[in-house]
Structure 1
Amino acid sequence: MHNSIISPKTVNENLCDSNWRFFDCRFVLTEPEKKQAEFAVSHLPGALYAHMNHDLAVPSIPGKTGRHPLPEKQKLIKLFSTWGIDHSVQVVIYDDAGGAHAVRLWWMLRWLGHDAVAVMDGGWPRWIQEGRQVSAELFVPEERKFIANPHDHWSVTAEDIRNYFDNPEVRVLDARSRERYRGENETLDPVAGHIPGAVSAPF
């Protein structure tokens, strides 16, 4: 079982294994449909596209939620079943942003109890650099039954964070750039700066 990082070589050796699923998570926040269009032209053979906005999040509510709220567990269970994932399936995820988008699906699967999920080392750029095969064919998986065993304590709410402000045993990490942490050059969020007490840890 692979549950963290997996090499392109190992991925290539298992492209034809029916118990492996491959997911393309390429995405650009400012051009949300761009990478799906690129996926349609070229992707790993047998890969499915997991859209950050449409598959891995629900619409945000201004002033109430963050940019990409988590879907309800039952919605994810149905989606993962449609994607042909059950307990016997090894999942591999990749993107072209150093894993920044792929890790969301990685975390969501782990959150619901599916441990056999890994991010491909180097992602799409390394796959292309190594001259490995690509495809434009649309893969339609056979549906399987995804059984969740959720780790509910893995997620927290904004209220939880507020309650942690005075707790010396809790650290909040801000993975954005140091500029955005300092409230400089903020081009994405309506309010610049960071959560009080958060430590800057750029991805």
Structure 2
Amino acid sequence: MLKFHKEGAKIILATCAIVVAIVLLSDSLITNFYILKFVQIISLIFLILVLQFFRNPIRLTDVNDTKIIAPVDGKVVVIEEVYESEYFKEKRLMISIFMSPINVHVTRYALNGIVKFSKYHPGKYLVAWHPKASEENERTTVVIENQVFGEVLYRQIAGALARRIVNYAKEGMQVVQGEDAGFIKFGSRVDLYLPIGTEINVKLNQKAVGGITVIAKKS
């Protein structure tokens, strides 16, 4: 069964109404057959693109405290040690997953635990792969405390097209791995900050599937 994310409800309804209006009006206003069909086909393609963007496939997560799963769909573009300046103020192992506009944009909790920190930052809309995007773009920072990995931070980062990040994590919440943590509209990336020495289970340029792909694990 095809499902759509609740964050897309208003946009989907508005798009459907606009497309229906265009199809009906064009049928009565445009006399040239080829132009008429072109307008109607373009309108339907636009509707399909909106629907695919807000799709929310059911993912059966193998919930496990000894694993950290991909919070989003996309491509692993960074695996490196960096200095995390907002919360830890020390070096962490960063894993970045870049989402293109055709990826599923649901954010899922990467691990079980308690939300220790959750903060929204307004900002710029640099392209998501820009080196300064994680510090200057619109973003949210969430820290989850897990009994196996300790504190793990993830950051939703808006891209050049994104204009709204939705974050459901609130401080004190008990969250479950794989459950819906939010949504990023129209392209972006998510960074995970793990303890140094964590065993990484993915490689650069690997495709990650949110709620399924194991990013890191502890034996």
Q: TM-score, normalised by structure 1?
A: 0.25
Determine which structure has more spread, i.e. the larger CA radius of gyration.
2
User: Which has the larger share of helix?
Assistant: 1
